[in-house]
Structure 1
Amino acid sequence: YLDGLYVKLKRSTVSGEVIYFAMGIDEEGRRQILGFYIGGQESSNGWKDVLKDLYNRGVHEVLLGVFDGLPGLDEAFKEAYPQA
């Protein structure tokens, strides 16, 4: 599950950026934040990087993906987890 949150971050200036959270829910219904990503590209290639990071950190068996219309995510998810 990926969800976006718009927050103010202070770097050299204060500006609004999107932070995407990847949340896993196991078969017993327990939720866990798997990762978070600041900004990034809303494209197939950008989401491939996110999904590759999750896979490299141990998210191998995904049964279902739920998205909120984020551009390119559906295509990248099907490529990363074709059995889901």
Structure 2
Amino acid sequence: MIARAIEKRGIATVTVSMVRELAEQVKPPRTVVTKFPFGAPLGDPLNRGLQEKVITAALDLLQTAEKPGSIVDLPYNWKEKIIG
């Protein structure tokens, strides 16, 4: 997996996955899991608030992951409108 190769170069990574079971098998360094359809891992088009929440959660995991292979399920729903 490319994330592991990047990590070996000293660059921290986090992946966004729509399938938790796949992340459990592949074991990337850090993963956030969304409940979104394939092709839209950050949320539906033009839903900036939702996309920002997913990206922020992924970046936060870079700081908060306590062990390699950490997987965090995000609570957001497809087409959820985020205010603020």
The bucket for the TM-score relative to the shorter chain is under 0.3
Higher RCO (C-alpha under 8 Å, 6+ residues apart): 2
TM-score (norm 1): 0.24
TM-score (norm 2): 0.24
Which has the larger helix fraction? 2
